[in-house]
């Protein structure tokens, strides 16, 4: 285990100006300066409001976090604050929330113990708490940790390469993605949330941005891989449908390789302890 690099002061660029909102997921909103990102964990009510929206809205809308979606989430939160929790916190929502939170915490712990300091994750630094300005609510944030900013998420990178018709590079990064997943398995780690916005491109590396969903428990890996068996077009499942539409042969090649690699036998052959 490698501890994060400890600095005596926060990098000046974090406090020099207003940080840009760069990305968001269910659990965090991420703000960036030129070389660093800081993360604001969402409050429990924000996360639950997003889970409710997931249940109510079609996936296609939810895949692009946007201003209208943000507005809708705030509306849901307002309704939640008025109605008694027994109305909106159904057993199912409560379960989803609990699972999300425990996977997030466990993933973070596993990443700290096994991935920190390796080329598989971006560098993390810590420093005495500072207040930074952020675009949008709540306007500022106190942070004592920052993560090296990647050039793009793997999803954004592939989107761009496809738009620019650089299909050989698309092929290269997709192969590399499967290699990176396998090097995780060799360490006894499997991501249950391995979608392309949770990985980033840094130089010639692919790094894991979001440790939420990392597991070292074989029964969870098993359950996930049983689900994989019924997926016929993994590239569509990964949100690559439109990105790979102009190059169907790469899509077919990727699906075949995915099927060959992301299955019980292959994962087990990499897994460190015979299970």
Ligand X SMILES: Nc1ncnc2c1ncn2[C@@H]1O[C@H](COP(=O)(O)OP(=O)(O)O)[C@@H](O)[C@H]1O
255 binds Mg ion (CB under 5 A): no
Helix-, strand-, coil-residue percentages of the chain, each rounded to 5: 50, 20, 30
Residue 49 tokens read as 């409001």
51 binds ligand X (CB under 6 A): no
Kindly state whether residue 25 participates in binding ligand X, applying the rule CB under 6 A.
Answer: yes
Q: How many CB atoms lie within 10 A of CB 258?
A: 21
Confirm if 34 and 20 have CB atoms less than 8 A apart: no
Span 31-50, contacts to ligand X by CB under 6 A: 37
- CB 12 within 8 Å of CB 132: no
Please report whether residue 201 would count as binding ligand X according to CB under 6 A: no
From candidates 191, 198, 243, 254, binder to ligand X by CB under 6 A: 198
Q: Are 29 and 21 in contact (CB under 8 A)?
A: yes
Residue 188, interface with Mg ion (CB under 5 A)? no
Q: Does 213 bind ligand X (CB under 6 A)?
A: no
Q: Work out how close the CB of 91 gets to ligand X at its nearest, in angstroms, rounded to a whole number.
A: 24
The single residue among 33, 38, 174, 200 that binds ligand X, judged by CB under 6 A, is 200
**Closest-approach residue to Mg ion (CB):** 25
What is the phi-psi region of residue 213: left when phi exceeds 0, alpha when psi lies from -120 to 50, beta otherwise?
left
CA dist., res. 156 & res. 162, Å (int): 10
- 8 A C-beta contact, residue 201 and residue 178: no
Q: Does 212 bind ligand X (CB under 6 A)?
A: yes
Residue count, binding to Mg ion (CB under 5 A): 3
Select from 136-144, 194-202, 251-259, 265-273 the region that touches ligand X (CB under 6 A). 194-202
What phi and psi, each to the nearest 5 degrees, are found at residue 63? -70, -20
Residue 26 binding ligand X, by CB under 6 A: yes
Q: Does 146 bind ligand X (CB under 6 A)?
A: no
Tokens of 110: 């596993």
In the bound complex, what is the minimum distance in angstroms from residue 266's beta carbon to ligand X? Answer: 26
Cα angle, residue 30 at apex, residues 92 and 203 outer, rounded to 5°: 120
Contacts of residue 106, Cβ cutoff 8 Å, sequence gap at least 6: 214, 215
> Contact 1/121 with Cβ under 8 angstroms?
no
Give the integer Cα–Cα distance in Å for 172 and 244: 13
Binding mask 23-62 for Mg ion (x = CB under 5 A): --x-------------------------------------
Stretch that binds ligand X, among 70-78, 94-102, 130-138, 148-156 (CB under 6 A): 148-156
111 binds ligand X (CB under 6 A): no
Residue (195 or 222) nearer to ligand X, CB: 195
How many residues line the site for ligand X (CB under 6 A)? 20
Site residues, ligand X (CB under 6 A):
22-28, 30, 37, 122, 147, 149-150, 153, 197-198, 200, 209-210, 212
Site residues, Mg ion (CB under 5 A):
25, 198, 210
């Amino acid at each position: 285990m490698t501890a994060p690099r400890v600095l005596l002061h926060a990098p000046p660029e974090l406090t020099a100006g207003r940080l840009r909102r760069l990305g968001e997921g269910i659990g965090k909103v991420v703000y960036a300066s030129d070389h660093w990102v800081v993360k604001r964990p969402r409050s429990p009510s924000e996360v639950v409001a997003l889970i409710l929206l997931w249940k109510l809205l079609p996936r296609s809308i939810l895949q692009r976090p946007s201003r209208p979606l943000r507005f809708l989430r705030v509306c849901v939160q307002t309704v939640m604050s008025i109605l008694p929790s027994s109305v909106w916190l159904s057993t199912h929502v409560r379960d989803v929330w609990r699972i999300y939170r425990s996977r997030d915490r466990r993933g973070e712990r596993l990443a700290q113990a096994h991935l920190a300091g390796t080329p598989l994750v971006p560098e993390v630094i810590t420093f005495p708490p500072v207040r930074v300005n952020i675009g949008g609510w709540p306007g500022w944030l106190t942070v004592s940790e920052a993560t090296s900013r990647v050039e793009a998420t793997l999803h954004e990178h592939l989107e761009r390469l496809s738009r620019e018709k650089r299909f050989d590079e698309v092929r290269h990064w997709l192969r590399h993605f499967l290699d990176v997943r396998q090097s995780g398995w060799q360490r006894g780690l499997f991501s249950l949330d391995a979608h392309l916005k949770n990985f980033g491109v840094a130089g010639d590396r692919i790094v894991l941005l979001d440790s939420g969903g990392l597991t070292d428990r074989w029964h969870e890996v098993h359950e996930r891989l049983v689900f994989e068996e019924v997926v016929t077009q993994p590239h569509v499942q990964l949100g690559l449908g439109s990105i790979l539409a102009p190059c169907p042969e790469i899509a077919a090649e990727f699906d075949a390789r995915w099927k060959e690699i992301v299955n019980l036998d292959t994962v087990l052959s990499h897994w460190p302890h015979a299970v």
